Structure 1
Amino acid sequence: MKEVYEVMELSGPGGKSDEKTFLNDVLQLEISGPDEDHLSVIDVPGIFKNTTEGVTTKNDIETVRDMVYSYMRNPRSIMLTVVPANVDIATQEIVEMARELDQDGERTLGQDLLDQNTDRQSETRFFRDVSPWNTLEKERVGISALRTRLQEVITTRIRHEFPKVKAEISKRLQVSRRMLQALGTERDTPEKQRAFLVGLATQYERVTSHAMSANYGADDLFDKHKELRIATIVAQRNDVFSSNMEFWGHERDADSDDEIFDDKRKKKVNIRTTTDKDDLEDIIQPQEYLLSPSLGITYWLKTLYQDSRGFELGTFASTLLPAIMKEQSKKWDLVALGYISDIMVMTHSYVLCLLEAICVDERIKSGLVSVLMDGLLDRYRKARDQVVFLLNIEEIKPSSHIK
């Protein structure tokens, strides 16, 4: 035990006074033999509420209680509560904890701890001759009785828990078989390796085909991973884009008694609905928001007209319309770039999620992601460039918000 204290860095025999008194680490001692019982005995520290200066701390109180509780709440553990015989059992916290976790007392045994100064040359003689202990039922006292009772309780618990254990083993076995099956056949030759990768590509293409056509009933993956429902996710984002353009995409708005427009006017809206991805940091538009349109478009149009009059009679200059359009479409760049950024994030999440689902081997998945990343990033950049190109075609010059 001196070696144990030294190795585990505990205070006590062989340890130092400035070291800890309690640890969550477990010292495991295995005893085997033809006459040994098939069970594990876990000797946990006794629960205490008061600290001893230089020995225990308040943290030790919580450490011990959590440790004891972690073992007691296991439904397959048998609780042997040891309490002093000369104290009121109602004051013992361990008894209350046992009642809380085992209300029917099916896996709880109580044991009295006698005073060490009691004249006890042998257990048999003690319970035979010493009063009042000699009045107790013989089948309920002593190590032999405790051994018998423990065997009975253990047998009962095994019979009670065995169906659950069997079910758990069966479930884990099924999971292991699925994982083994997902690994595929041996890949010890280049031909087998190529066949394996072709199989992954075929599965990826099949799932993606169903995802694009919203045929979610064709594969259980769509129920397990909602990110794979890419057609629906993009369609929902399209609705958000349409709403943003309708309510937030113009710079000025007319005075209106419409409660919907008034409610929108009181708020601001983010241009993005997804969270940032580290892999796409240099491509996607940063998280920003749009302010509600300003009121008084009629007054603004009159003012713009007065400031832009030429020698025309009864009409207005054709140059007025581009000026109006340029002012009203200031927010289009943020709306459009926020939209395409969300689409890129959704697509990227789909690719990573599907690879995670079809590649059980983490090493293979990481390798595929590494190989595909450059191509994916290039396509994302081209998608963004296409949006900027369309904005320029409409003579909407991207503002300083565009990265």
Structure 2
Amino acid sequence: MEKISTHRRKKKLAMGSMGTDSLPVSGDDGGPSSVHYVAAPKTIGSSSLDALQSTDSRRVMDIVDKLRRSGLSGILQLPQLVVSGDQSSGKSSVLEAITEIPFPRKENLCTRFATEIILRRATTTSINVKIIPDKQRPSMEKKRLEQYKSTIVDFTELPALMEEATNLMGLNDDGSGAIRAFSRDVLSIEIAGPGRPQLTLVDLPGLIHTDNKKQSKEDVALIQGLVDEYIKEKRTIIMAVVSAKNDYANQIILKRCRDIDPKGNRTIGIITKPDYLDAGSENEANWIELAENKDIFLELGWHFLKNRSDKEVSKSFTERNANEAAFFATGRYRDLPPEMVGIESLRNRLSQMLYKHLKAELSSLQKELNEQHSEVVIDLEKLGEKRTTTREQRRFLMKLSQEYQDVVKAAVNGQYEHNFFGTLDPDTSIDDEGNMRRIRAVVQYLNMQFASAMREFGHKRIPDGSDEVVPLSECGADKNAVEPALDEDYAHFSVLQVAEARDDAIERVRRILIRSRGRELPGTFNPLIISQLFWEQSHNWQSIAEFHIKKVAQVCSSFVAAAISCIVADDVATRLQASTVNPALQSRVERAKAELCRVIADNKHHPITYDPTYIAKVQDMRRKKSDFKFKGIVDQARTSIYSDTTRHFEHYLKPDVLDRGKGDLLEHDMDKTSAEDALDSQQAYYKEEVKYFISAVTKQVIERHLMRDLTADTLSPMLVGDMTDDDVAFIAAEPEETVRLRSNLETRKTMLEKGQETFKSALGLCK
């Protein structure tokens, strides 16, 4: 018999005097190292396996088998049976009894790595073997192991083939002295034949209780981690094998199953080696009680199996099954329900169990498959079209720029119908990533914050709260208007302000007036003093405006980055921002700052206003001062006299007091009068000018330089058209990792689509 390998070499197997009618069998896990062979039919399969699947079960299994053959086992968690237990618990014998496949269980062979057995129906018989390498292996080793694929047509070739796979995994002595005890690689054996059911089982290495000379602490951890990886999969049915030779309370597998599947929803307990128990003993009674689900409850229950002993290794499967049936027909086992003992009833239980489990999982499996397909499609859409030539690359950028324009124009115009804007969450802060995409709303909010900050902190000198003739209300806002609450990051501007009473302010202005006097007549003031007072009072304007520009610029930068990332893959977005977008945004900020400097420079010139409200405000302030003083004189002249006639107090004004008070209406200190007039004029001018400054910053600086035509210099079709071929290639050319990613995504998409077609076909959805 010759083995057919992918590397196309043929090798005569040293099988001694065996013929093609012999099959290898041996003792249980950890049993004799020799391998025995018994006569067996040449055809692969057994009619006794029919009990493993009903018609409905086979139909469901067909779906899973087709999904697995489509390559989806590496993408989705496909349903499977996992056989697990402690070392020497009888796992491999259980697996052999279920499938009637005589796997070689030579010492330190099968139990040192996971073995995946895939059974499927086919018109011809074949056995295909491959290695699925551990994901943690170096790429060169993974490639070497993945290349190993062999096909045989007779079980007699299986031992040598598995031995070769073991050598490739590095588990045998290669002469270097470095022997690995266990491997995380998986040996996959696909057995096809006319009599085979659609079934996948995994035989896991036995759990180790403690380290020893041959098995280190690292080996203990490796096996526990490997077993956990398999049994934690939500679509896996766990066959927890426990040996009656050892106390079940000390067998690790039961604890692992209870930790991962506490209710036992997908765990069935398999009790092996009951023939080692003394008939009628208390120990036997304890094991029977366990099988009856009275101790450790498993929703799927327990089952007794009697496998071949060391003396029965040469017996056929028919003889094995007959001996097992005879054993369970004696003693206390006769009282157990027939469905709890023996291999035939186990197959029936597994058939029903698998059918219910798979039927329940198919809906969620199909949903998960569709969700992953949608994710892959989105990822491919982000990569865009293939970009090999300059023409393809430029076309890609042109299309990208058009999509970018649509998003940005909609955001700047405040039209938020595009999917890019998502769902509005009013409970989040304005600078939340989701809200940041609605850039017009955010900038409007920031502009209102800027206006409030200017009215609150724009004036350097503020009233100290004392009773004054004319309040120093520098903000110029309507008294009945409600100012929006300022964010905390504006609070630091309050330290730039100085509290000052009106009398102190007048005295300060008087001193300035004296030191700034020109050729003006006494009682008047130099017009230039208004400029000096205004410049000092508006000292904070530039700081507040620069802070506002910085905040809006950050919003624009975050928004543009989000818009680009939404429509293109990260690698292209990074290069695009570095080469085009970021320089354009920086240029916009510089132009905005330059515009602000021009506005500030205009304020440094001599005050000019043509607004008639300025004169009205000055006159109103003077009238209020006169009214305040006159009211004080009237209060001094007011007197009350009791009338005997009316029997009430009558109120009068004393003429002499009024006459004396008339002189107090006029200020005799002409410098103080001029200082008051200058201060009033400056206040009236400030109230009008702060409105202009707010308008100039929001319109001429923010709108003109940061918001308007945001796509023109960041990314537009015209900009793409002006790019050189080198610039286009730098931005749009696909790097090697992207090419590999695209290939992987396309392969993944093809597999998922095959899975979708499998579901449609199997469920009768295709027309």
Normalising by the smaller structure, the TM-score range is 0.5 to 0.7
Q: Does 1:157 align with 2:357?
A: yes
Report if aligned partners of 1:234, 1:343 keep a CA contact under 8 Å in 2. yes
Letter in 2 for 1:335: I
- Cα deviation for residue 42 of structure 1 reads 6.3
**C-alpha separation in 2, matches of 1:70 and 1:149:** 25
Which residue number corresponds to residue 270 of structure 1?
A: 489
2:184 is aligned to 26
1:375 to 569, 572, 584: 584
TM-score computed with the length of structure 2 as normaliser = 0.38
Query: Is the aligned partner of 1:242 residue 2:461?
Result: no
- Post-superposition Cα deviations, 1:308-348, rounded to whole Å, max 9, x if no partner, equal 35187556665554444444444333322221112222212
C-alpha distance in 2, partners of 1:20/1:346?
Answer: 57
Contact 1:128 1:134 (8 Å CA) reproduced: no
1:26 counterpart SS class: coil
Instruction: State the Cα distance separating 1:234 from its structure 2 match.
Output: 1.0
How far did 1:30 drift? 0.7
Q: Does 1:39 align with 2:200?
A: yes
User: Relative to structure 1, is the Cα distance of residues 236 and 69 closer, same or farther in structure 2, using a 3 angstrom cutoff?
Assistant: farther
Tell me if the contact between 1:255 and 1:296 (Cα under 8 Å) persists in the aligned partners. Answer: yes
Mapping 1:298-317, distance limit 5 Å: 298=501, 301-302=505-506, 304-305=508-509, 307-310=511-514
Is the CA contact (8 Å cut-off) linking 1:80 and 1:109 kept in structure 2? yes
Checking the alignment, whether the CA contact within 8 Å between 1:21 and 1:56 is kept in structure 2 is no
> Conserved in 1, the CA contact under 8 Å of 2:460 and 2:536?
yes
Is residue 243–residue 272 contact of structure 2 (8 Å, CA) maintained in 1? yes
Shift, 1:150, TM fit: 3.5
Amino acid corresponding to residue 31 of structure 1 in structure 2: I
Q: Please report how far the alpha carbon of residue 178 of structure 1 lies from its aligned counterpart in structure 2 after TM superposition.
A: 5.2
- Who is 1:223 aligned against? 422
The answer for the alignment partner of 1:172 in structure 2 is 372
- Shift in CA distance, 388/128, structure 1 to aligned 2, threshold 3 Å: farther
CA distance in 2, matches of 1:304, 1:64: 87
Which of 500, 503, 506 is residue 297 of structure 1 equivalent to?
A: 500
Once the 2 structures are TM-superposed, how far is the Cα of residue 231 of structure 1 from its aligned partner?
Answer: 0.9
Matches within 5 A, 1:4-403: 26-34=184-192, 38-41=199-202, 43=204, 46=207, 56=217, 71-83=230-242, 85=244, 87=247, 93-100=255-262, 103=263, 105-112=264-271, 120=309, 121-122=311-312, 125=323, 128-129=326-327, 134-135=333-334, 136-137=336-337, 139-141=339-341, 145-177=345-377, 190-217=390-417, 219-223=418-422, 226-256=435-465, 269-270=488-489, 289-292=492-495, 294=497, 296-298=499-501, 301-302=505-506, 304-305=508-509, 307-310=511-514, 318=527, 320-359=529-568, 361-373=569-581, 374-395=583-604
Return the offset for 1:46: 4.6
Return the alpha-carbon distance in structure 2 between the equivalents of residues 295 and 239 of structure 1: 24
* Structure 2 contact 421–438 (Cα < 8 Å) conserved: yes
Please give the TM-score of this superposition, normalised by the length of structure 1. 0.67
* Contact 1:268–1:290 (CA under 8 A) maintained in structure 2: no
Deviation at 1:216, TM superposition (A): 0.9
- Greater C-alpha radius of gyration: 2
Q: Residue 457 of structure 2 contacts residue 494 of structure 2 at CA under 8 Å; is this kept in 1?
A: yes
Q: Is the 8 A contact 1:352 1:369 kept in 2?
A: yes
Task: Return closer, same or farther for 1:314/1:39 CA change in 2, 3 Å cut-off.
Answer: farther
**1:126 offset after TM fit, Å?**
6.5
Corresponding residue for 1:281? none
> SS of the residue aligned with 1:34?
strand
CA distance in 1, matches of 2:249, 2:201: 27
Partner of 1:278: none
C-alpha separation between the residues in 1 aligned to 2:577 and 2:462?
47
Q: Could you tell me whether the CA contact under 8 Å between 2:460 and 2:539 is conserved in 1?
A: yes
Q: How many residues align?
A: 359
CA distance in 1, matches of 2:584, 2:436: 21
Q: Which amino acid aligns with 2:189?
A: I
Q: Is the 8 A contact 1:230 1:346 kept in 2?
A: yes
Aligned to 2:239, the other structure's residue is in SS state strand
1:74-132 alpha-carbon deviations (Å, 9 max, x no partner): 321212334565547599533532553xx4x4422123365997794457547744886
The CA distance in 2 between the partners of 1:46 and 1:338, in whole Å, is 65
1:187 to 1:84, Cα distance in 2 relative to 1, 3 A: closer
User: Secondary structure of the residue that 2:270 maps to in structure 1?
Assistant: strand
Contact kept, 8 Å, 2:462 with 2:500, in 1: the verdict is yes
Q: Residue 268 of structure 2: SS of its match in structure 1?
A: strand
Structure 2: tracts of 5 or more residues without a match: 1-108, 113-163, 278-307, 313-319, 424-433, 467-474, 476-482, 606-767
Q: How far apart in 2 are the matches of 1:392 and 1:175?
A: 55
Distance 1:290 1:371 in 2: 36
Moved more, 109-118 or 242-251: 109-118
Q: What residue identity is the alignment partner of 2:439? A: I
| Post-superposition offset of 1:226 | 4.4
Q: Which has the higher contact order (CA 8 A, sep 6+)?
A: 2
What CA distance in whole angstroms lies between the structure 1 residues aligned with 2:564 and 2:357? 44
Aligned-pair identity in percent equals: 21
Q: Name the residue aligned to 1:276.
A: none
Question: Counterpart of 2:17?
Answer: none
Amino acid at match of 1:352: A
Distance 1:99 1:179 in 2: 35
Q: How many angstroms apart in 2 are the aligned matches of 1:158 and 1:223? A: 37
C-alpha separation in 2, matches of 1:34 and 1:308 = 105
8 Å Cα contact 1:268/1:292 also seen in 2: no
Structure 2 Cα separation of the partners of residues 7 and 304 of structure 1: 95
The secondary structure found in structure 1 opposite 2:422 is helix
Q: Which moved more, 1:162-171 or 1:66-75?
A: 66-75
Equivalent position amino acid for 1:308 in 2 = I
Asked if 1 retains the 8 angstrom alpha-carbon contact of 2:460 and 2:498, the reply is no
- Residue 161 and residue 296 in structure 1: after superposition, are their counterparts in 2 closer, same or farther (change >3 A)? same
Deviations 1:243-262 (A, max 9, x none): 322333444432359xxx9x
Change (3 A) 1:13 1:220: same
DSSP 3-state at the match of 1:29: strand
**SS of residue in 1 equivalent to 2:271:** strand
Q: Which residue of 2 aligns with 1:282?
A: none
- Cα 1:254–1:7 change in 2 (3 A) is farther
Q: CA deviation at 1:143?
A: 5.5
The structure whose residues are more often strand, as a share, is 2
Residue 249 of structure 1 contacts residue 331 of structure 1 at CA under 8 Å; is this kept in 2?
yes
Question: In 1, distance between residues paired with 2:545 and 2:412?
Answer: 22
Counterpart contact for 1:253–1:293, Cα < 8 Å: no
**What is the alpha-carbon distance in structure 1 between the residues aligned to residue 449 and residue 532 of structure 2?**
28
